[in-house]
Amino acid sequence: METRNLRKERTGVVFSNKMEKTITIAVKWKEKHPIYGKFVNKTKKYHAHDEKNDCNIGDTVRIMETRPLSKLKRWRLTEIIERVK
The mean pLDDT value for 58-78 works out to 97
Over the stretch 1-50, which tens digit does the pLDDT of each residue have?
778 789 999 999 999 999 999 999 999 999 999 999 999 999 999 999 99
Q: Which of 69, 19, 63, 70 is nearest to 45 (CA)?
A: 63
Report domain extents, the chain: 9-82
The mean pLDDT value for 56-69 works out to 97
- Dihedral angle over CA of 31, 36, 37, 43, nearest 10: -10
CATH number for the 9-82 domain, one of 1.10.443.10, 3.40.50.720, 2.40.50.140, 3.40.640.10?
2.40.50.140
